[in-house]
Structure 1
């Protein structure tokens, strides 16, 4: 291995170490505990070394946020494959979304700490766009299936996501990030009603 390759590998190892140390802090003490100084202390490097890899703490948070959206997109797509009908897909995807939120609480709280991402952010971050596209395309397919081609799919998309995020957020606040079987039933009922609203 040449000098350049060794330097590149060493740089990648430091970057990985930074992210691993940061994630450990998050899991242990929450997002509010994260700081550049604490990360530097944890990996036993100076603060400037951290800044050589990440511009600031927000850049580290964005990295984790991207990971979260990527994981959520994969979860939704896997759920979507389990059924054929678009309206049924919306129902199983809603359950998968709920399960993801409570099985990956730290990711979810970072991803949606300020609510549903604005359109500008969706267009700028590929991982968010992929997840959003999965929801939008399924709603469009459902509108075609139900013959409701004149409906505003973008409006329906926001209504669908508002149900998901709203109920998840309420549950997280009420039960400190723990899931609840009855609230999950409420989610299923709400999404069932949403799917019926797609029919002309």
Structure 2
């Protein structure tokens, strides 16, 4: 049993090393430089060994995407836990989303296809990819404070937030943004504006 556990541990470590090496290459040379042979060179394995763990480069991209969503989900949970009021939670969560995107730029790119081809159909099959929407939706429903909001109502609010935040992130990843101060101001104004509109709708109902 101990031998089986040791073998499994070594397999897990090798798999993690392959993913770490992939991310290292991307950070240094960009996504276009990533290849199975280059990964093998970095970790000093032969290319066939890499294929024992991942069928192709797309499988590595998908696993890095999963890793990204796991990190993002954890960041969102921590941001939400720091506040009690839904409005404050949403503001903190979207700021955490923004911070994640720039602290993990390469992961964000592969998660959402910014400056690269995204395995979007495959990403949609990852359970982890649903977590950010689920977490934000829970808080949006609390903020709406109406009886039985429809899925479309919640979805509309989420995509209003996401379109603005993701759009601003993408602009800056493409190096077409302005100063950090202006970015923060635009981000904060946009988030608070959507929050205020939801609160006003609640009052008018």
TM-score (normalizing by structure 1): 0.86
Q: Unaligned 5+ residue runs, structure 1?
A: none
Q: Residue by residue, what CA displacement relative to the aligned partner does 1:97-130 show, whole Å, maximum 9, x if unpaired?
A: 11111121111111111599979844x2121112
1:90-129 alignment to 2 at 5 Å?
A: 90-113=90-113, 121-122=123-124, 124-129=125-130
Runs of 4 or more consecutive aligned structure 1 residues displaced over 3 Å after TM superposition:
1-7, 114-122, 147-151
Q: CA deviation at 1:191?
A: 1.1
Superposition RMSD in Å = 2.8
Q: What is the DSSP-based 3-state SS (H/G/I as helix, E as strand, rest coil) of the residue aligned with 2:145?
A: helix
| Separation of aligned partners in 2, 1:32 and 1:86 | 41
Distance 1:105 1:23, change over 3 A: same
Q: What is the DSSP-based 3-state SS (H/G/I as helix, E as strand, rest coil) of the residue aligned with 2:21?
A: helix
Q: CA deviation at 1:36?
A: 0.3
| Separation of aligned partners in 2, 1:15 and 1:34 | 16
**Structure with the larger RCO, 1 or 2 (CA within 8 Å, 6+ apart):** 1
Distance 1:179 1:127, change over 3 A: farther
Distance 1:118 1:47, change over 3 A: closer
| Separation of aligned partners in 1, 2:41 and 2:120 | 35
TM-score (normalizing by structure 2): 0.84
| Separation of aligned partners in 1, 2:41 and 2:47 | 8
